[in-house]
A and B are shown apart, each in its own frame.
Chain A
Amino acid sequence: MTSDITRASAAELADRLYRKEISAVEATQAHLDRIAAVDGSVHAFLHVDAEGALATARDIDRRRAAGEDLHILAGVPIAVKDIATTKGLPTTAGSRILEGWIPPYDATIVAKLKDVGMPILGKTNMDEFAMGSSTEHSAFGPSHNPWDLERIPGGSGGGSSAAVASYQAPLAIGTDTGGSIRQPAAVTGTVGGKPTYGGVSRYGLIALASSLDQAGPVSRSVLDAALLHSVIGGYDPMDSTSIDAPVPPVVEAARLADVKGMRIGVVKELGGEGYQAGVRARFEESVQLLVDAGAEVVEVSCPSFEYALATYYLILPAEASSNLARFDSMRYGLRVLPDGVDDPSAEQVMAASRDAGFGDEVKRRIILGTYALSSGYYDAYYGSAQKVRTLIQRDFAAAFDKADVLVSPTTPTTAFKIGEKVHDPLAMYLNDIATIPANLAGIPGMSLPSGLADEDGLPVGIQILAPATKDERLYRVGAALEAVLIQRWGGPLLAKAPELLTTANGREARS
């Protein structure tokens, strides 16, 4: 019975809750049991809040029994990336500098989850301050890919994708600054969406790069992602970059799931050399399936994408260096006194605290960003990068004249082994080469599973991109493709993942 519940999609769970076939407490407890059984080896969670989650569940059950009209997702459990502030629950952003910090307020998206009545199972692991593509830069140890525990689950949102891929949660919140929702989705065989910039409130999200960050859904199906997107999206006066418009009709689009007559643009610069053979093969097959389903394919070229990675790794560190200046040990976070200094100054304490509290990747990016913004270098680096950003937006605009959506492989490779790239920053940065352009332009993107690579049997993702504010097109195309692929596979791709050993089996839960 327990495994039934945790294998259900959020939509199925919602339906069973609505029909009172199961209670919210049963649904929540089933997931808490699953967490206890497998998270020892997956390490998706940094903090589990059994008490809080069950309290929410009991409240929903009571209200449902009283005949109250509840949101479709009421009672459906969810995990939240540890970058979103949760009142009363530790929030670390994967960093020692915030270890033990308990926020006194909720992020807007967390408040929305609570309004709907979704039990929050806990906070998921992530690369420190969302800087990374593997979750290896978490100060609290990496998360592991449920398909092969020796491999990365992606990053920075590896905890959320691993939790959902291992059935510890039907849904999770992620954030995406350069691909941190989409890339983990691709390497774990799950679905991940990055809404249009401004479509989801950033209030209460620990900021990495304020002009690039966006929170979004992590799920096992396109419809589930749409349901979650419709909960967290919408105008927020607490976020001055929030779009004052209704959430796009993403759920209707996911249910419509029809690509007849749509123009699908294949981006010449995203794919090809540098992309693993199995990644390309699954991508080309998926494109063909879209054609078979009635879409028209056009080739588009976005030449400025050649500079996207360089642009991103200038803009992000510059914005991050500014955003992370607040972690100065004065008002919250780690405070460390410098060794051998009597009566240290505030600046000395700040410097000692930041050196002790930040990991290597964070320090690298802060220093890089400080350099890019410093006088004498501003124009050559940050100034140039901002201009290339304009070129990238223009390339997208031209592409969307010819196509309704664009598609590409989400990542150049399948999940690599833990430890393989962590000491080579540039090699690590290359994982985001296909996902970065969308953040630079502010357009929405999604990754969904397109199959397994022949050479290693690991999941591959296809990325869909749409014009800004047209998020519904992602769900329409994604759901259509997903339906066809599931039919071919005889079930969801995740069903092919190896069963995780559970501690309930009495065996050590390690691969």
Chain B
Amino acid sequence: MSAISRDDVAHLAMLARIDLSDAELDKMAGELAIILESVARVNEAATDGVPPTSHPLPLTNVTRPDAVRPSLTAEEALSGAPASEQQRFSVPRILDED
């Protein structure tokens, strides 16, 4: 379970949208294998019947009134954009070419 292959890392890199180089893939597979071995220890703890905790202090349905309030202007929101056009973020094509 804790062995992780170069192909595994390549697949995960695709899921995480990081274009790892061949050298990075090689190095990372080895490093992750060691780390995974050590974190797999969580399975040695006695957790039968123990509920999971995702949050240190339980809170339920924190909401606010559905009322308009000040926010960023379009200019502020676009201020960090690598590219923008007509008050929109300009991005590379998101659809495949035909």
Interface residues of A (CB under 8 A from B): 101-105, 196-198, 211-212, 237, 240-241, 243, 304, 306-307, 309-311, 313-314, 321, 325, 328-335, 338, 343-352, 354-355, 358, 360, 363-364, 366-368, 370-372, 374, 380-381, 383-391, 393, 425-426, 440-443, 468
Q: Give Cα distance in the complex from A20 to B57, angstroms.
A: 44
A468 touches B1 (CB 8 A): no
The answer to whether residues A387 and B39 also contact, given A343-B93, A380-B1 and a CB cut-off of 8 A, is: no
A335 touches B82 (CB 8 A): yes
* B 34-61 to A, binary, CB cutoff 8 A, 1 in contact else 0: 1110111111111100111111110100
A310 touches B57 (CB 8 A): no
B42 touches A388 (CB 8 A): yes
The answer to whether residues A313 and B35 also contact, given A388-B45, A468-B56 and a CB cut-off of 8 A, is: yes
B57 touches A391 (CB 8 A): no
Interface residues of B (CB under 8 A from A): 1, 4, 8-9, 12-21, 24, 28, 31-32, 34-36, 38-47, 50-57, 59, 62, 64, 72, 76-77, 79-83, 89, 91-94, 96-97
Please give, as numbers and ranges, the residues of chain B lying within 8 Å of A212 by CB-CB distance.
56
Q: Give Cα distance in the complex from A426 to B35, angstroms.
A: 7
The answer to whether residues A351 and B57 also contact, given A333-B80, A380-B1, A387-B50 and a CB cut-off of 8 A, is: no
Q: Which residue of A lies closest to B56 (CB)?
A: A442
A104 touches B72 (CB 8 A): yes
Of the listed residues B21, B92, B96, the one surrounded by the most CB atoms of chain A closer than 10 A to its CB is B92
Please give, as numbers and ranges, the residues of chain B lying within 8 Å of A104 by CB-CB distance.
72, 76-77, 79-80
A391 touches B17 (CB 8 A): no
A331 touches B96 (CB 8 A): no
B17 touches A354 (CB 8 A): yes
B19 touches A355 (CB 8 A): yes
Please give, as numbers and ranges, the residues of chain A lying within 8 Å of B1 by CB-CB distance.
380
Please give, as numbers and ranges, the residues of chain A lying within 8 Å of B18 by CB-CB distance.
351, 354-355, 358, 363, 366-367
Please give, as numbers and ranges, the residues of chain B lying within 8 Å of A426 by CB-CB distance.
34-35, 38
Please give, as numbers and ranges, the residues of chain B lying within 8 Å of A345 by CB-CB distance.
92-94, 96
B80 touches A332 (CB 8 A): yes
A330 touches B17 (CB 8 A): no
Q: Which 3 pairs from chain A and chain B are nearest by CB?
A: A442-B56, A332-B80, A386-B52
A346 touches B93 (CB 8 A): yes
A346 touches B94 (CB 8 A): yes
Distance between B34 CB and nearest chain A CB, rounded to angstroms: 6
A243 touches B57 (CB 8 A): yes
Partner among B24, B39, B79, B91 whose Cβ is within 8 Å of the Cβ of A346: B91
Partner among A311, A348, A380, A391 whose Cβ is within 8 Å of the Cβ of B50: A391
The answer to whether residues A367 and B12 also contact, given A197-B56, A346-B93, A383-B52 and a CB cut-off of 8 A, is: yes
B81 touches A332 (CB 8 A): yes
B91 touches A240 (CB 8 A): no
Of the A-B pairs whose beta carbons lie under 8 Å apart in the complex, a sample of 30, sorted by A's number, is A104-B72, A104-B76, A104-B77, A198-B56, A212-B56, A241-B62, A304-B45, A307-B42, A309-B38, A313-B39, A332-B81, A338-B19, A349-B91, A351-B14, A354-B18, A364-B28, A364-B35, A367-B13, A367-B16, A367-B18, A371-B8, A374-B12, A385-B39, A389-B53, A390-B50, A391-B46, A393-B53, A425-B31, A440-B56, A441-B56
B94 touches A384 (CB 8 A): no
Partner among A198, A370, A443, A468 whose Cβ is within 8 Å of the Cβ of B16: A370
Q: Give Cα distance in the complex from A385 to B4, angstroms.
A: 19
A328 touches B92 (CB 8 A): no
Q: Give Cα distance in the complex from A389 to B83, angstroms.
A: 43
Please give, as numbers and ranges, the residues of chain B lying within 8 Å of A313 by CB-CB distance.
35, 38-39
A355 touches B20 (CB 8 A): yes
The answer to whether residues A386 and B53 also contact, given A105-B72, A363-B28, A367-B13 and a CB cut-off of 8 A, is: yes
A241 touches B59 (CB 8 A): yes
Distance between B17 CB and nearest chain A CB, rounded to angstroms: 5
Please give, as numbers and ranges, the residues of chain A lying within 8 Å of B89 by CB-CB distance.
330-331
Please give, as numbers and ranges, the residues of chain A lying within 8 Å of B79 by CB-CB distance.
102, 104
Distance between B69 CB and nearest chain A CB, rounded to angstroms: 10
Distance between A337 CB and nearest chain B CB, rounded to angstroms: 8
Besides A332-B81, A368-B35, 9 other A-B contacts (C-beta < 8 A): A104-B77, A198-B57, A243-B57, A304-B45, A310-B39, A321-B16, A343-B97, A370-B15, A388-B47
Please give, as numbers and ranges, the residues of chain B lying within 8 Å of A360 by CB-CB distance.
24
Please give, as numbers and ranges, the residues of chain B lying within 8 Å of A364 by CB-CB distance.
28, 31-32, 35
Q: Give Cα distance in the complex from A358 to B36, angstroms.
A: 21
Of the listed residues B4, B51, B54, the one surrounded by the most CB atoms of chain A closer than 10 A to its CB is B54
Distance between B22 CB and nearest chain A CB, rounded to angstroms: 12
Q: Give Cα distance in the complex from A105 to B70, angstroms.
A: 12
